[in-house]
A and B are shown apart, each in its own frame.
Chain A
Amino acid sequence: MSEKALLAGDLRFVTLSDLFQILGGNRNTGILHITSQYAPAPGLIYFVNGNPVNAMCGPLVGLDAIYAFFGWTEGRFEFHQQAVQVEHVVKNSRMEIILDGLRMLDEGIIKKVGPPFPIKVSAVQSSGLKYGEGDALPIIKGPLVNYMYVIDEEEFLDGERIVAEGAHGNWIWVILEGVVEITKQTSNGPMTIVRLGEGATIGTITSLSWQGHVRSATATAVGNVQLGVLDSERLAEEYASLSSEFRELLLSLDARLMKITDTLSDLFMKKTKPPDGLIDGKEVIIEEGCSREEVFTITEGEAYMIRRTPQGCLSLLTLQKGDVFGYVPFMDMGREFRCASVVASKDLKVNRFDIDSLRKEYDRLSPAFKGIIEHTATCVSLTTRLAGKAS
């Protein structure tokens, strides 16, 4: 940074809207230089008495140039106090520019300037942990898209974030075209859990019920992506019409995905150690590879999903009261038991679900709803396999 700069820093820390407010509040006159490694040339914004009056960003000038800078979320800036002799073409107020700029950024009208893959899996590679086939993650595709339930189409550009972990929303999308990367925040940095392809859904069944509104992972477009917004109201109605057992089963399926994903991220951070003697004094209730059509819900006690490794037993997750386990072939649920077993504590009490009535209810579901269930079940089984491999 040059010595003349009175104010300089990183745009990731001090955003453009912060800068506008600082320079505005102080009624500064001078030139703000912005550089980004992803932009071929640096940009300039001219301020007179705290108000932006003109700007240059590549071929763009004036207001268009200022707006374009809102997409520069990474980069460096420096402000030089000096007399400004340019044409005052921008007349809008500071706050109007900030609010409108951010709106256009959020609406995708302003293009984000950044690396082609903003979320890297470098942490995975550096930790030496490999999962999936080689380093390339498998892409999970979903069933054929049922357009009856698609009420709107949205396009996301390469690297654009579709949902952010921890944010709110109960929209469910189906991928019509392209690939979406699902990542989760860990203390080692973002971890890519899975890549989704056509027919796969973004958003969970839980989000159709009351409690579900916090996004559990981040979804980012890899290459340009075409998404269909599913009619979540219609799906929510369908969900509400289901029996309480069926809903319990669905919520449990979602909860399982969360749990096994957490296990995977713990393994990713090498937190989990295989506990010794886990199996001692416990009964194996589902043996690895079992495919008996039975589903249970836990009413008391605990069960553990384990995987036998040459080093001993690895606990993949703990099942508690309200959790459902078992094999439901028509829902594609329980496939994870091909590579895992369940052992139970002595005090375990369970209720058995009526498979036939579940099957009848499942058959009545709309194809879109079935698609979401099937997709969730596939994700559970894939993640369990990854966790098994990662150990």
Chain B
Amino acid sequence: MANFNQRERVIECKLVYYGPGRGGKTTNLQHIFKAFKKQATEEMVSINTKGDRTLFFDFLPMGLGKIRGCEVKVQLYTVPGQVKYDSTRKMVLKNVDGVVFVADSLKVRRKENVLSLVDLQQNLAEQKKSIFEIPLVLQYNKRDLAHESIPLLPVKLMEEDLNRKLKVPSFPASALKGTGVRATLQECLKLTLQHLQRELKWMR
């Protein structure tokens, strides 16, 4: 559930980028931060957690409009994949409103993708949330590497592996080049706000 800041008349919703280590979560966020720098309210926080950096920043996306007179502020997080970062993961996933799952298209990372998705399901369950209900978008990252003849998983296979049961929107992307990053975020934001409005019974 999003945080409603009564004093500032702001609804803060929390989006979390989840996925296997070194799959491109950080790169996604860095790209977004650069693109939305003017709308970011504070500097990006970057923590060196082993395996993957943990990032955080919040921003007021333009063009989302107001919900019941409140502006919508979006907090973006990445979450460290390693098992030992239990407290960090709990804090980040607490009251999460939407999730972007960044899957790694590298052929050798097929198993890691599945494991990480199962892990997400479990971690959400700990927060009493279902992976089938939470606003979720999949991103198949590193598609650009196909040009460098690095073996990639076909999108169809990744859909089969990860999205067969979920049936959520998915986007091929290259976070490094910046393609697909915005589309992923926008879709996740859209789903999150729709979900929020339904949850708060603001939409009939």
- Where the two chains meet, the residues of A that have a C-beta atom closer than 8 Å to any C-beta of B are 15, 17, 21, 25-27, 70, 93, 95-96, 98-100, 102-103, 105-107, 163-164, 166-169, 171, 213-214
Contact = CB atoms under 8 A, between A and B. Distances in A.
Contact of B7 (A26, A171, A213): A26
B91 A107 contact: no
Q: Contact size class for B?
A: 20 to 34
Nearest to B43: A93
6 contacts: A70-B87, A93-B42, A99-B45, A103-B85, A168-B119, A213-B115
Contact of B54 (A15, A26, A103, A105): A103
A105 B86 CA distance: 9
Contact of A103 (B7, B88, B122): B88
Interface in B1-28: 3, 5, 7-8, 12
B43 to A, nearest CB: 7
Contacts of B59: none
B200 interface: no
B47 interface: yes
A167 B83 contact: yes
Interface string B33-50: 000000000110101111
A201 B91 CA distance: 30
A388 to B, nearest CB: 34
B47 A103 contact: yes
Contact of A102 (B7, B83, B91, B119): B91
A interface SS class: mixed
Contacts of A98: 91
A106 B85 CA distance: 5
Of listed B8, B47, B122, residue having the most chain A CB within 10 A:
B47
B56 interface: yes
A106 B88 contact: yes
Given A168-B119, A168-B122, A99 B7 contact: no
B84 A107 contact: yes
A93 B3 CA distance: 19
Contacts of A15: 91
Contacts, number: 65
B64 interface: no
B161 interface: no
Nearest to B4: A25
Contacts of A95: 42, 45, 56
A168 B119 CA distance: 7
Contacts of A27: 7
Max chain A C-beta neighbours (<10 A), residue from B45, B49, B115, B126 = B45
Nearest to B45: A96
Contacts of A99: 45, 47, 54, 56, 88, 91
B86 A96 contact: no
B122 A214 contact: yes
Contacts of B80: 103
Contacts of A103: 47-49, 54, 80, 85, 88
B67 interface: no
B84 A106 contact: yes
A95 B48 CA distance: 14
Contacts of A102: 85, 87-88, 91
A27 B42 CA distance: 15
B118 interface: yes
Contact of B86 (A93, A106, A214): A106
Nearest to A73: B87
What 5 pairs across the A-B complex have the smallest Cβ distances? A169-B83, A96-B45, A102-B88, A102-B87, A106-B85
Given A106-B85, A166-B122, 10 more contacts: A25-B7, A26-B5, A99-B47, A99-B54, A99-B56, A164-B86, A167-B83, A168-B118, A168-B122, A213-B118
A106 B80 CA distance: 11
Nearest to B88: A102
Contacts of B50: 107
A55 to B, nearest CB: 19
B91 A17 contact: yes
A106 B48 CA distance: 12
A64 to B, nearest CB: 17
Contacts of B5: 25-26
Contacts of A166: 122, 126
A292 B126 CA distance: 46
Contacts of A163: 83
Quick one: which of B8, B42, B87, B118 has the most chain A CB within 10 A? B87
Nearest to B84: A106
A168 B84 CA distance: 10
A85 to B, nearest CB: 24
A93 B45 contact: yes
B47 A96 contact: yes
Contacts of B3: 21, 25
Contacts of B126: 166
Contacts of A25: 3, 5, 7-8, 12
A21 B83 CA distance: 25
Nearest to A164: B86
B119 A106 contact: no
Given A26-B7, A99-B56, A103-B88, A171 B45 contact: no
A126 B80 CA distance: 40
Contacts of A214: 122
A240 B12 CA distance: 48
